[in-house]
Structure 1
Amino acid sequence: MPFGLRIFLLYAVFVGFCAYLVLRTMTAEIKPGVRQTMEETLVDMSHLIAVVVANDVKQGTLNQSQYPRLFRLFGEYVPQASIWGMDKIDANKRIYITDHKGIVILDSDDMALGQDYSRWNDVYLTLRGDYGARTTKLDIDDELSTVMYVAAPILDGDQIIGSVTVAKANIAMQPFIERSKNRLILWGIVLGVVAMLLGALISWRITKALGRLSDYAEQTIKGEKASPPQFRVFYEYGDLAQVIDRMRHQLEGKNYAERYVQSLTHELKSPIAAIRGASEILQTSPEPKSQQRFLSNIEHETKRLHLLIERMLNLSAVEKQQMIENRQSFAIKSACEQAIRAIEGECLQRDITLQVNLHENADVSGDELLLQQAIVNLLQNAVEFSSIGGLISLNCVIKEGLLVLSVFNQGEAIPGFALAKLQDRFFSLPRPSTGKKSTGLGLNFVTEVAKLHNAQLTIDNVEGGVVATMIFSQFKKR
C-alpha cells in the first residue's frame, strides 16, 4: 500500500472518529438545550400568572372573575406566527390553578377541575415552597408524548395560598429539534467531505514528492546524471534530496570502494550463506513447520542485509568527512529532544521507563542532524540491551569544564573482552531479547560523529547496567 494512501487512511479514520464524537455530542445536547429554554419560558409565564391571579385566589372569587373565560380564549387562540420558518398555529399550553390544598380550582382545558393534584410533583413541591416541575408521558409507550409541567406559588405575603402550573407538550419543540439536528448533520457531512478532500490532496502531494525522490534515488543507483528535485511546499523533502545528492558524490570516490570492499564482502558472506542454505533445503520440500522456519531465516537475513547496507552508507558519509564544512551552532538539548521522539514508541512497546535529565543546555558547533542521529543510535542500542520493564536515562551535565552527555541502560554487564571492541566496525553482541546480532556499525558511526564534533565516546559497565558517554571539550554554555 503506498505511503500516501496509508497517511490518508489514518487521517480519514482520525477525522471520521473526531467528527462522529463531535456530532454525537452536539446532537445529544440539542434536545436538552431546547427543553431547558422552554422550561425557562414556562417558569416566567407561571410566575406572571401567579402574580395576576393572586388577589382573586385570596378572596375566593377566581371562578367568578374573567380568568376562566380568558384562559379558554387563550387555548383557542391561533397565533399565525412564523418562527424561523416554522408556522405556529396554536397556543399549545395548558394552565391550571390549585388552592393551598392542591385542589384544582381552574383548568384552561376543563380536564381536572375539582380534582386533587396535591401528589403531582409540580403542585406538591410548589406548595412546600420548593421549585415544582415534572415531565409526564401521556402514552407510556410513546417517547414523544411527554408534557412538561412548571408551577409557581401564589402568595399572600409570605404565605403560599395556591399554585399555578403551565404545561406544554414537548412534541411542540420536536420540529425545531429535528431541524437543528438535520442542519448540524448536513454541515458535519460538508465539513467532513472538505476535510477528506484536503487530506486526499495532501496525501497525493506527499506521494508525488516521494515518487520524485524515489526516481532520483533510482537514477543515483544506476549512476545516471541527475539533479536533486526541488520542493517548494515540502521543503523537508528538498533537504532529503540534497542529503542524497551529497551521499552520492561521496560514494563515487574510488578510495572508499577499495577500502571497504574486503570488509563488506566478509560481512555479506554470512547472511548470503544462510539464505542459500535455507533455499537449498526448501527445494527438498521439507515439512510445513520446517518450511516456515527456513522462510523466517531468509526474511531475517534479508532484513539484516538491508540494514547493513543502510548503515554502511551512513557510515561512509561520515568517514569521508575530514571536517564539517558548514558548521552551525545549535543547542544540544534540541538534538536530544529530537532523538528521544525517535525511540519513544519502542520504549512504550517494551514498557521501558525513559528518564531525561537535561539540566544543562549548551551550544555545540557542528552538524545537528548528524549528532541527533548519533544520540538516536546510543538510545536505540540502550533499548535493545534493556530488559522489558527496564530503565533508560539520558543525562546532560557540565562537569569539570566538559559537556558530558550520557545514556544509561539497566541490563547485563558487557563482557570484558568486548568492551574494547564495541566501537570497531562490524563488531556486535547478541541482543538479550532475540539472541541475534546487529550490523555492528551503529557505535562505529557514533564514534565518527563524535570525532567530527571534537568529542570522545566511552562505554563502561556501571552498577546495574551500562553507560555510554560522549564528552565534548568545545561548547558554549547558554
Structure 2
Amino acid sequence: MAVSKRNRIFVGILLIYVVGIAFLLYRVLADLDPRYRESAEESLVETSQVLASLVEQDVISGAIDPSRLDPLFRSVYARQFQARIYGLTKEKVELRIYVTDRAGQVVYDSFGSNTGKDFSNWRDVKLGLKGEYGARTTPDVADDPLTSVMYVGAPVRAGNEIVGVVTVGKPVQSFGQFVDAARRKTLYVGLYSAAAVLLLAVIVSVWLVRPFGLIGDYVRYVRSQRRLNLPRLGRRALGVIGAAFDEMRDALAGRNYVADYVQTLTHEVKSPLSAIRGAAELLQEPGMPPEQRQKFLANITRETQRIQELVDRMMELTALESRRSLDHVEPVALAALLQEVVATAADAASTRQVHVQLAVQDDAEVDGDPFLLRRAVSNLLDNAVDFSPAQGVVQVTLRRRGRSAVIEVADQGPGIPDYAQDKVFEKFYSLARPQTKKKSTGLGLSFVREIAALHLGKVELVNAPEGGAVARLSVPVGTA
C-alpha cells in the first residue's frame, strides 16, 4: 500500500509538471504571432514613410502625380530572385501600395484593381488624412483569414497641407510561414526539454526512495529464512539500517540537489536560449547583410556549445557526487602525472602566450584514481591559464607537507575579488575571464572539490601575497 501511495504521489507530481510545461508552451506559442505582426507592422511603417516622401516630390499645385510609380512597381514585380532566409526561400516581392488623394479616392494601385475607388472610410486612409497613424488588417476574400493583408498608411503633404495618403500592404501569409517555423522549433525544444527533465526526475526519484526499498528488501529477506538465526538477522539489519541512514542523510542534506539543480540549471540555460531565439528571429528578417547573418549564426553556435558544455559538466559532477568512495584505486606517482598534464596544458596555453612551468620539490605517491586526479589538476590549470595575462606564467608546484602531497597552481592574474572569496566553489558561480570577459559553466571548481573529497583531501583557492591566485590540492600520501 505504501508503494502504491508513493507511486500515486509521484505520478501526481509528474502530471502537475506536464500541465505546467504545456501551459508555458501554450503561452509562448500564442505570443509568437503577435510579436511577428508587431515586427512586420514596424517595417511597414518605415516603408510607408519612405514612399510618402517619394510621392511628395511629385506633388504639383496640391495634386498628386503617381505616374512614375507604375513603371517602378512593374519592374519590382517582374524581378526574379531567390532569397534564402533561415531555411525558407522567398522568390517574389509581395509588397503592395495604393495612393489616395485628399478625398480618399484611389489615384494609383500597384495591383491595378482599386484605381478610382473610394477608400475614404478605410481606417488607414481616414486617419492618415487627419495626420494620424492608421493601420488595418483586411482579408482579400471575405471570411477567409488566410488572405488577410496588413495595411499601414502615411500622409502625403504639400507644405503644411495633407493632400493624400500612401498605404503599404503586406499579406499576413508572407510572414506567417516564419511564425509556423518558429512555433515548430519552439514546440520541439519544449518537448525535448520536458522529456529530459522527466527522465531526470524518474532517475532521481528512484534514488531518493531507495532507503525505503532497502527496508522492504530486509523484510523479504527475513521471510525467506527457514529458521531463526538472531546473530545473522542482526548483522543484516545493522547493514540495512546503515545503508538506509546514509542515503537518507544524503538526500535530506541536499546531496542530490534535485530542486536546486533544476532551478539553477533552468536559470543558467535561460540566457543562452534567449540569445539563440533572438538570433534566430533576426535571421528570419529579409535583407540582412551577410556579415550580420554570419555574426548571428556564430552567436547561435557559441550559445549551443555553452549549453552542451553546461549539461556535460553537470552530468559528470552528479556522477561524482553519487559516489561514497573511489571505485578504482591504485598507486599514483604525482610527479609523472603532473608532467603529463603540464605538457598537454602548455600547448594550449602557448596560443594565449601564457607559459606553464612545473617545479617538483618533493615527489609523492598517493593511492587514488589517476583519471580523476588528472582531471582535477587539468581543471585548475585551465582556470589559471584563463585568468593569466599575455606573457604571464602559470607555476605548478608539487611538495610534501606532513602526511599530504600538495599540488599548487599559481597564476599572475587579477586574483579573487573579496566578494567572491566564499563563492568560488559554489555550483554555477563563475568570474568573467579578463581577456574574453566571458564566464565558464561554473562547475569546474565544484568538480575538483568532489575529487579531493573522494581522495580524503581538500582544495582551496586563495590570493597570493605577490598577486594572482593560488589553487592548492592536498591529498593524503598512501591513503585514499
Range of TM-score over shorter length = 0.3 to 0.5
Give the greater-gyration-radius structure (CA). Answer: 1
TM-score, length-normalised on structure 1?
0.45
TM-score, length-normalised on structure 2?
0.45
